[in-house]
Amino acid sequence: MRAGSSKCGRWLSARTAEKAQAATDAALAAVFREEAGRLTAALVHVLGDFDLAEEVVQDSLVAALEKWPEQGIPEKPGAWLMTTARRRAIDILRRDKRYREKLALLERTPLAPEPTEADDRLRLIFTCCHPALAQEAQVALTLRAVAGFTTTEIASAFLLPEATVAQRIVRAKRKIVDAHIPYRMPDQVELAGRLDGVLSVLYLMFNEGYLSRGAQVAMRRDLADDALWLTGLVATLMPDQAEVIGLLALMTLNLARSKARFDKAGEMVLLPDQDRALWDGAAIAEGVQLLERAGAMRATGPYQVQGAIAALHSEAPSWEETDWHQIVVLYESLIRMADSPVVRLNRAVALSHFAGPEMALGEVNDLAMALDGYHLFHATRADLLDRTGEPALAREARLRALELCQNPAERSLLERKLRRSPRA
């Protein structure tokens, strides 16, 4: 009768179970991201096969998700996962005669990777972020192989059907095999370009998580936290790359404000209206310190500049007292490094507080062709039109922004502003 009573117990203690579950989830996430990348790297090393290694690690994570919430996290979670992954690999290899040699090798290999072994996760990251793979596949593969996400978790983090994510991963791994994408660190000539690729994957991951934070979707994994963790890992493994530290600073500074980004009702609050007392002072100090460390390396780049802009916002006592002049200067240097219509849009916003909304509006209007499909272009234009006293045009722009906007929190913000504005 055990099954029956436990089922009944589960119903009765749903709330307690939920609490316990949440605690386990956080612990599981921490264990997975510590272990998954090492495990995958170690197994690629033994098996010489990225696809198989990645697959069996994923299987071991799924097995852990089934067992650990009930049995508790084992004392040596890494060894548990390794044993499970290894067993699974042996199963797969036994079925295939071509792998006889690998099988023998695997059966001789110790249970856990040697502690002295150099951290091979960097190679893993660079392989997952190879430019020959579509960027969305790079993101999914990095989350799975390096941070220990399951396919289900990636799907829920990106609000995608699980089948879509699974197919992306299968396709990417097939391409790695078919096109012979090497499992190695890029050489010196390629390194700068390839690192840029890795950083843009990490930043994309971060933004995806950061924007949807506070939204109702309950998630086992927090994408923004994991992106921060991954960037920290790259920073540890490549300590002399200023832009990696710049990105880490940028993420740290943005996360420092996250408590103020949503009000009690779950509605999004933009920077000018945020309660600055809710900002995390320690995290801001840490972000600024990271920026100084990066700056000392004398190799400036777009992430450091964006970090510096974030720092100026974080250190301003109020929206009005922000050092807009300095922010405009930083946006100008960003334009010289990595010009894009979006950067120009942001510069125009800063300019509006420094040189007036009319001038900024002129600059924003010049971007109409390039940014017509971007909701924040229309939302920014609407705010500027409000300030120049053209509510009817502002309303029109805001409606267009709403049409283009997907994110629920941003949509609700636009809708609130629309309700407040008078109808034409």
Which C-beta is closer to other proteins: that of 113 or that of 197?
A: 197
Which C-beta is closer to other proteins: that of 186 or that of 209?
A: 186
What is the closest distance, in whole angstroms, from the C-beta atom of residue 57 to other proteins in the complex? 23
42-81 residues in contact with other proteins (CB under 8 A) are none
CA distance 59 to 88: 8
First and final CA of the chain: distance in angstroms? 69
3-state secondary structure of 215: coil
DSSP annotation string for 1-40: -HHHHHHHHHHHTHHHHHHHHHHHHHHHHHHHHHHHHHHH
Which C-beta is closer to other proteins: that of 10 or that of 174?
A: 174
CA distance 51 to 65: 21
**Residue 150 CB-density burial (10 A; 0-12 exposed, 13-18 middle, 19+ buried):** buried
Binding-site member from 132, 163, 192, 368 for other proteins (CB under 8 A)? 132
What is the closest distance, in whole angstroms, from the C-beta atom of residue 186 to other proteins in the complex? 7
Copy the structure tokens of residue 189: 């000539």
What is the closest distance, in whole angstroms, from the C-beta atom of residue 175 to other proteins in the complex? 9
Alpha helices by DSSP H, listed for 320-374, are 324-337, 341-355, 357-365, 368-371
173-192 residues in contact with other proteins (CB under 8 A) are 178-182, 184, 186, 189-190
Instruction: Report, in angstroms and rounded to the nearest whole number, the Rg of the chain calculated over CA atoms.
Output: 24
Which C-beta is closer to other proteins: that of 2 or that of 180?
A: 180
Count residues binding other proteins (CB under 8 A).
Answer: 11
Which C-beta is closer to other proteins: that of 189 or that of 424?
A: 189
Which C-beta is closer to other proteins: that of 1 or that of 189?
A: 189
CA distance 301 to 336: 10
What is the closest distance, in whole angstroms, from the C-beta atom of residue 184 to other proteins in the complex? 8
Q: What are phi and psi of 336, to 5 degrees?
A: -65, -30
| C-alpha pair distances (Å), 65 with each of 28, 131, 155 | 8, 32, 16
What is the closest distance, in whole angstroms, from the C-beta atom of residue 247 to other proteins in the complex? 24
What is the closest distance, in whole angstroms, from the C-beta atom of residue 182 to other proteins in the complex? 4
What is the closest distance, in whole angstroms, from the C-beta atom of residue 243 to other proteins in the complex? 22
CA distance 163 to 169: 10
Which C-beta is closer to other proteins: that of 37 or that of 186?
A: 186
260-289 residues in contact with other proteins (CB under 8 A) are none
Residues at the site binding other proteins, with contacts judged by CB under 8 A: 130, 132, 178-182, 184, 186, 189-190
